[in-house]
Every structure is written in C-alpha cells, then in structure tokens.
C-alpha cells in the first residue's frame, strides 16, 4: 500500500509578506533549493534561491529557437519539431515550457512538488508572468469593450486527478494559480497579469505517469470537462492560458484545450514549467 506523501502544510505560506519568509528562513534555514547556500533575508528567502542560482534559472528559459507548437528547443529542425510535425492535430494553439525536465531544473521542480519548498512557487510565478507577456502577450491583448468583459483572457489551471490531493496533501498547480491570482489583484510591477478561471475538472482516470504515449491520449479522452457542464459553471474565457508543471506528450493539455474550445474558447495556449 502506498503511503501518502508528506505535504508542505507545516511551512509558511509565501503569499504572506516578504518579512514572514525571511523570518522563517532565519528560524528554520533550508538554504538555496539548488546549491544549498544559506539564503539572505529578503528576495532570496522569498524565492527559495540564492541570487546566482536565481539568475541562472531566469537566463536558462530564454531559449531562442523553439518548436512553434510544443515550445521545445529546436536543435536541427526548423519551425516545428519532428514529433509535432508527424503527430496528430492539437486543440491548443501553442505551448511554451520554461525548462527541460532534467538536471538542475528537475531538481528545482522536485523540491517544489515533493520537498515542501513552497517559496519556489513565488519564483515560478514570476517566470510564468514573464513568459506570458513575452510569448503570448500580443495574442492575448484585448481592446475596447472586451477589456470590460469577464474573462476575456484568463489563466486556467490544469485540474488534478481525483484523489491526488488526498494522497499528496496539496495541488502544486492550484497553489501557483493562487499566486498568479494575487499578483493580478495587486497588478504589481510591469507584469502582464490575468485573472484566474477555474473552469475545468478531471473525471476519474488512470495516472498519466504509468502509461505510454498512445494510452495517455486515450486515457484522458472525454475525462476533462467543464465544471458545471450540465448546469451553471464558471464562464469560459475567450482566450485561455493553461498552466501545468510538466509537458510530456501533450495529451493533458490537448484534452483541456478541447474542453475549453467546446465551451466557447476561441484561443487556448499553455505555459508549463518543464518539458520531458
């Protein structure tokens, strides 16, 4: 029998003021999630990374040549990677993953998901907002009366598999959505912010991690639906930006995009922390 993972419930919520994160790091030092260096009060404590490691991560996601569909780095291909060129049509209009799921990037994501390093959520939220502005800003810009419409454009978190929260103790994507929601309310800095629309839910299905490419696609067929699809539910944004942690085969993003477009979305993009 599997033992539930230890969730990060005992750690402070980084959505609290910066001084709280600094005080917690002083009282219970965890160090930089990448190199282990002691973190100084302020931004280092808030983001869970020392300045050099934070700068390394920020610079690494700006890969100049990417696939126009899945966003993976292109080496010898042009325009679109071989997998997307030979693969099926997708319901989403474009995906942008930040990092490869390997080396230091995998270490950081693992520390966030399974190591209770919630402070890394603040760092990821900043990068998600920058990627949103730089990659999809022109596509999501709305003018005139559309600016006053509810959810003309919105973040849409990928829903967890039923039972996941009971097993892991939390939902790392919903946590990021909460951080993005807070930044939208504050409209802080120069970030291109959007509201969060939680309009998707996932019906019971097998874990995608246990399946091959073809079985992953079939496993989610019709299993991601609109909340309240048979009744009153949240309004579907006209332009949706899905947010997830790891992009592997694209089956999850595709199923989410299909449900959103069935509900009236005109454009669906996605930003993931890593690609595998």
Taking only the tens place, the pLDDT of each residue in 61-110 is 776 788 888 888 888 888 888 888 888 889 999 999 999 999 999 999 99
Q: Residue range 241-256: average pLDDT?
A: 92
Residue 11 predicted with pLDDT over 60: no
Top-level class of domain 69-99+126-275: alpha beta
pLDDT at 159 (0 to 100): 93
Res 233 pLDDT > 70: no
pLDDT (tens digit per residue) in 58-73: 888 776 788 888 888 8
Q: For a pLDDT cut of 90, what percent of the chain falls above it?
A: 37
Q: What is the per-residue pLDDT across 205-215, written as a single tens digit (0 to 9) for each?
A: 666 566 555 66
Instruction: Say how many Å lie between the first and final Cα of the chain, rounded.
Output: 28
Rounded CA gap, 16 and 161, in Å? 28
Q: Which runs of consecutive H residues, i.e. helices, occur in 101-247?
A: 103-113, 119-131, 137-140, 164-168, 172-186, 213-219
- DSSP H or E run through 102: none
pLDDT of 240 higher than 90: yes
User: What tokens appear for 206 in the block?
Assistant: 């097998």
Contact indicator for 180, 157 with CB cutoff of 8 Å: no
Phi and psi, residue 150, nearest 5°: -65, 130
Q: Using alpha carbons only, give the angle 243, 247, 248 rounded to the nearest 5 degrees.
A: 155
* pLDDT tens column, 138-174: 766 644 344 444 458 899 999 988 877 777 778 999 9
Q: How far apart are CA 8 and CA 61, in angstroms?
A: 26
Total residue count of the chain as it appears in this document: 276
What average pLDDT is seen over the chain?
79
Q: Which residues pair with 155 in a beta bridge?
A: 196, 241
CA distance linking residue 26 with residue 31, whole number of Å: 10
Q: Is 226 helix (H, G, I), strand (E, B) or coil?
A: strand
The single residue listed with the structure tokens 């048979």 is 230
Comparison of pLDDT for 42 and 10, the residue scoring more: 42
């Amino acid at each position: 029998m599997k033992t539930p993972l230890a969730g990060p419930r005992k750690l402070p919520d980084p959505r609290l003021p910066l001084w709280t994160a600094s005080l917690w790091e002083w009282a219970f030092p965890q160090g930089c999630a990448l190199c282990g260096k002691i973190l100084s009060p302020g931004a280092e404590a808030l983001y869970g990374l020392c300045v050099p490691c934070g700068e390394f991560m920020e610079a690494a996601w700006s890969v100049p040549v990417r696939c126009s569909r899945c966003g993976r780095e292109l080496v010898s291909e042009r325009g679109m990677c071989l997998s997307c060129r030979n693969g099926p049509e997708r319901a989403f209009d474009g995906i942008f993953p930040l990092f490869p799921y390997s080396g230091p990037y995998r270490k950081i994501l693992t520390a966030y998901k399974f190591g209770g390093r919630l402070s890394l959520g603040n760092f990821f939220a900043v990068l998600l907002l920058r990627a949103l502005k730089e990659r999809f800003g022109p596509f999501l810009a709305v003018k005139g009366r559309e600016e006053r419409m509810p959810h003309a454009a919105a973040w849409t978190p990928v829903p967890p598999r039923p039972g996941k929260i009971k097993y892991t103790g939390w939902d790392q994507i919903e946590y990021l959505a909460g951080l993005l929601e807070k930044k939208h309310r504050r409209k802080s800095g120069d970030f291109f912010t959007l509201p969060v629309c939680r309009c998707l839910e996932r019906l019971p299905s097998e874990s995608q991690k246990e399946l091959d490419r073809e079985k992953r696609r079939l496993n989610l067929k019709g299993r991601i639906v609109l909340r309240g699809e048979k009744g009153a539910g949240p309004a579907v944004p006209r332009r949706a930006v899905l947010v997830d942690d790891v992009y592997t085969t694209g089956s999850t993003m595709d199923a989410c995009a299909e449900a959103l477009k069935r509900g009236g979305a005109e454009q669906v993009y996605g930003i993931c922390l890593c690609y595998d």
